[in-house]
A and B are shown apart, each in its own frame.
Chain A
């Protein structure tokens, strides 16, 4: 990227990196480090025209979620899927394509003035309490 005059680094973090989630010690500390790494890289390479940002999704409906539910709650997958969805402020999980849309934007020149930012993509998880 330095040789070609610039570029974009996009890190996938998580809301676990900035909010306390139960029973996610190693994952949360890793994602917290990803967020810090993002800020650090952004600062170190701003002069090289390399932007660095991260996305922090909340619960996103991927094959991982379906696999987790069928392994952990066999026979109760639908019930538990609904319960996990309703625990989100919007009453649903995110879609992978919604993460992709933000990723595409951050990688594009439309986002040329954006660096060193952690984007929660969380349906309101971090800020909408109470």
Chain B
């Protein structure tokens, strides 16, 4: 493919493993600059070493459970590469916090693992995405529209992510970022 992404800086949360790592690899193959944000430092370093053979690749090992850490990840990207063209909100885990097998505290913790950092990352990335007329891609799930069972936290996070995607598309229309 040639999607005209050469030298575009693309931040991927949860970018060290799984779908996030595949996104980072594909960005690299397209000539873009992936910036991996992941709490798994070891996997992140391994992937960064692999991708650096083909071009620049950023990495920060950070847990996205606090807004401060999200802000730090964006700041680090800007410090290292001077721009941000796309945010891929990918990090999350189907953590099986159910209605019966779960507690209100577990549920809120699941929302923090799967939802709240989507907002925080987009919030702190927005000034730079406005400059680049960039893009936000949120990774949702089929659990947003079909029940799985025993995963209240994850499913409701993904439903909210679908709503946020439409909401941000509406809010950001004037900036040609979406």
Contacts and interface: CB of A to CB of B under 8 A. Distances in A.
A89 interface: yes
B166 A127 contact: yes
Contacts of A124: 169-170, 173, 178
B53 interface: no
A110 B2 CA distance: 12
B173 A89 contact: yes
Contacts of A110: 1
A130 B167 CA distance: 11
B170 A130 contact: yes
Q: Is the interface of A mostly helix, strand, loop or mixed?
A: loop
A90 interface: yes
Interface in A51-96: 89-90
B1 A128 contact: no
Nearest to B176: A90
Nearest to B26: A110
Interface in B91-105: none
Contacts of A89: 170, 173
B164 to A, nearest CB: 12
Contacts of A130: 170
A6 B166 CA distance: 35
Nearest to B166: A127
B153 to A, nearest CB: 25
Contacts of B170: 89, 124, 128, 130
13 contacts: A89-B170, A89-B173, A90-B173, A90-B176, A110-B1, A124-B170, A124-B173, A124-B178, A127-B166, A127-B169, A128-B166, A128-B170, A128-B173
Closest 6 pairs (CB-CB, A-B): A128-B170, A127-B166, A124-B169, A128-B169, A89-B173, A110-B1
Given A124-B178, A128-B166, A128-B173, 9 more contacts: A89-B170, A89-B173, A90-B173, A124-B169, A124-B173, A127-B166, A127-B169, A128-B169, A128-B170
